[in-house]
Amino acid sequence: MTQIILASGSPRRREILKQIGVDFRVVVSNDEESPKSANPLDFPRENAMAKALAVSAKEPGSYVLGFDTLVFLDGVPLGKPKDEKDALEMLNKLNGRTHWVITGVAIAKDGQVVDAQQERTEVFFRKNSLQELEKYVDSKDPMDKAGAYGIQTQGARLISQIRGCFYNVVGLPVARTLEMLGKLKVNV
């Protein structure tokens, strides 16, 4: 059986892989995210490639999955909030608006990227009151999430609809990942 490694410490990504029955182990990439592209929309794929490569170099013979998720508002990436004030500012920017969530997916083997792609989902925030946003920030839920919200947790209250892959917004686009592994003839 082919060894699959998840190059991420994200509990959400682990849960999704378990949910879909993928046998894997975790080796967290310590690679610092420093994309080189002039186009911010390429950052998620570049970051995913760097994470997968960093682990792949130490794990010969294994397929290594790297992921990176960013929220984009008007083409500008929103990462994880620095503090509660930053989280509230991000949520206020997203409030009542549409934005994109882009997740880069990379697969590396023997120190080489064998496939790298991106998944994009459109997310519509409903018009939330300031009190609702503050209550959400007080829950501490937004603190470790790109764009300062989690669609799979209390952040679901902030969203009116999505167009695209739900799991992409959580951080691991299931269909795209399975298609990529399938093209490589990796049994999962």
The four Cα atoms 176, 113, 48, 7 give a dihedral, to 10 degrees, of: 90
Catalytic residue ranges: 68
Domain ranges of the chain: 4-183
Using one digit for the tens of pLDDT, what is the confidence trace for 156-185? 999 999 999 999 999 999 999 999 999 999
Task: Convert the pLDDT of each residue in 1-28 to its tens digit.
Answer: 579 999 999 999 999 999 999 999 999 9
When pLDDT is averaged across residues 85-93 and rounded to a whole number, the result is: 97
pLDDT, residue 188, reads 83
Identify the pLDDT of residue 62. Answer: 96
If one looks up domain 4-183 in CATH, what number appears?
Answer: 3.90.950.10
For the stretch 34-77, pLDDT in tens is 767 888 999 999 999 999 999 999 999 999 999 999 999 999 99
Among 152, 180, 181, smallest CA distance to 23 is for 181
Rounded Cα distance between 177 and 104, Å, is 10
3-state secondary structure 37-98: CCCHHHHHHHHHHHHHHHHHCCCCCCEEEEEEEEEEECCEEECCCCCHHHHHHHHHHHCCCE
- Interacting residues of 160 by C-beta distance below 8 A, sequence separation 6+: 124, 125, 126
Residues with Cβ < 8 Å from 111, sequence gap 6 or more?
Answer: 53, 56, 57, 60
Query: Who wins on pLDDT, 85 or 30?
Result: 85
The confidence band for 32, taking pLDDT boundaries of 50, 70 and 90, is low
How confident is the model over 94-149, as pLDDT tens digits? 999 999 999 999 999 999 999 999 999 999 999 999 999 999 999 999 998 999 99
Record the tokens describing residue 161, joined without a space.
């609809």
Higher pLDDT, 31 or 116: 116
Q: What is the pTM of this model?
A: 0.92
